[in-house]
């Protein structure tokens, strides 16, 4: 890395030269390594620990046009006490909602320690003016959001207008004040792993606290190889700058088996220091019930069945 990072974004050409100077991703190698790590088995005792760890890393999400305050309150109750019959189940890390439902979630979660995350910047498309995006972020923060999940402008990124994407992230970070900023790359639209690496670095240079794979509205959403590329990026960014950034795969993660594959990937790629909700999250609308069912199966030897738990 020859250009000091502070100067990388001083012009469109320096930013482009930096991002295109990053080493290319060996696609076949990344796919093979993710597949290999995905087949690793873990011991039964480690599995119980992994399930509780995964529960504590969930960003329990509802991002539907039909969301209501009642649905969000019910989700918040589940976030705090995932299994009402078992107080040993840890709470999730955060709930993630649309900006207009932040106040409802903040009230429902008061004093619980579960954080409220709001999507922003015209989620999921990211298609509005910077003024609108910044105003939406400020309103969500004013309503009490502790975390903002913004989307990047993929159109600008794919057109090579990296400085526009950078400036939007910088402006959104400023509007966040003390709230943490997660930057959604929407990797399913970025076409190549090289682009995923570039977008990861772009977001981190611009001030992201977390980089997140997907909105959950585009297919493919989170995948193991894409998450591997992002974990390598946060590892390398820490080595280059001394600043640690978190990672959040989101979208399509529905089973305990998948969640554990992600934890193995984190451990083997970025390292065990990332195995904490401050540095790793799983964004999911319907993973929690499977984690609860598998947890109960390990404790009692039988499944309670999906009807035992309230809907995700």
List residues with catalytic annotation.
149, 212, 248
CB 31 within 8 A of CB 254: no
Closer CB to ligand G3H, 151 or 266, in the complex: 151
Find out whether the peptide bond into 101 is cis, omega within 30 degrees of 0: no
Which stretch in 24-32, 39-47, 136-144, 245-253 sits in contact with ligand G3H by CB under 6 A?
A: 245-253
Site for ligand G3H in 54-73 (CB under 6 A): 61, 63
Site for ligand G3H in 150-179 (CB under 6 A): none
CB 194 within 8 A of CB 228: no
Closer CB to ligand G3H, 205 or 265, in the complex: 265
Asked if 249 is part of the footprint of ligand G3H (rule: CB under 6 A), the reply reads no
Give the separation between CA 236 and CA 245, rounded to whole angstroms: 10
Asked if 216 is part of the footprint of ligand G3H (rule: CB under 6 A), the reply reads yes
Closest CB to ligand G3H belongs to which residue? 216
Closer CB to ligand G3H, 25 or 247, in the complex: 247
Closer CB to ligand G3H, 215 or 267, in the complex: 215
Q: Rounded to the nearest 5 degrees, what angle is found at the Cα of 289, between the Cα atoms of 288 and 292?
A: 90
Nearest to 231 by CA among 200, 206, 253, 203: 200
- 52 token code pair: 């509780």
Nearest to 250 by CA among 278, 276, 226, 271: 226
What's the min distance (Å) between Cβ of 65 and ligand G3H? 13
Residue 74 DSSP label: H
Closer CB to ligand G3H, 63 or 228, in the complex: 63
- 227 token code pair: 């998450």
- 24 token code pair: 């290319």
- 116 token code pair: 């409220």
- 51 token code pair: 């399930």
Which stretch in 70-78, 154-162, 188-196, 214-222 sits in contact with ligand G3H by CB under 6 A?
A: 214-222
Exactly one of 30, 37, 150, 284 binds ligand G3H (CB under 6 A); which one?
Answer: 284
Site for ligand G3H in 75-114 (CB under 6 A): 96
* Chain residues that interact with ligand G3H, rule: CB under 6 A: 61, 63, 96, 215-216, 221, 250-252, 283-286
């Amino acid at each position: 890395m020859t250009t000091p990072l502070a100067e990388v974004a001083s012009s469109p050409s320096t930013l482009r030269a930096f991002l295109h100077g990053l080493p290319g991703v060996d696609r076949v190698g990344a796919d093979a390594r993710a597949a290999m790590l995905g087949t690793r088995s873990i011991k039964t005792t480690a599995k119980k620990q992994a399930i509780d760890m995964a529960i504590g890393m969930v960003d329990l999400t509802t991002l539907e046009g039909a969301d209501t305050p009642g649905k969000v309150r019910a989700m918040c109750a589940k976030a705090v006490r995932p299994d009402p019959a078992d107080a040993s189940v840890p709470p999730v890390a955060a709930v993630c909602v649309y900006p207009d439902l932040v106040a409802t979630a903040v009230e429902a979660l008061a004093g619980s320690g579960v954080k409220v995350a709001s999507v922003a910047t015209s989620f999921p498309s990211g298609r509005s003016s910077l003024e609108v995006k910044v105003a939406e972020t400020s309103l969500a923060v004013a309503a009490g959001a502790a975390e903002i999940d913004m989307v990047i402008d993929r159109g600008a990124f794919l057109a090579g207008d990296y400085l526009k994407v950078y400036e939007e992230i910088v402006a959104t970070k400023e509007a966040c004040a003390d709230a943490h900023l997660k930057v959604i790359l929407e990797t399913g639209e970025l076409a190549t792993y090289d682009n995923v690496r570039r977008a990861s670095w772009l977001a981190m240079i611009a001030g992201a606290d977390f980089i997140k794979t997907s909105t959950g509205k585009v297919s493919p959403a989170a995948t193991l190889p894409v998450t591997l590329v992002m974990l390598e990026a946060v590892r390398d960014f820490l080595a280059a700058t001394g600043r640690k950034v978190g990672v959040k795969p989101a979208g399509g993660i529905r089973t305990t088996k998948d969640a554990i594959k992600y934890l193995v990937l984190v451990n083997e790629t970025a390292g065990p220091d990332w195995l904490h909700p401050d540095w790793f999250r799983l964004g999911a609308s319907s993973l929690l019930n499977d984690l609860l069912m598998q947890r109960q199966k390990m404790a009692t030897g039988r499944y309670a069945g999906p009807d035992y738990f309230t809907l995700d």
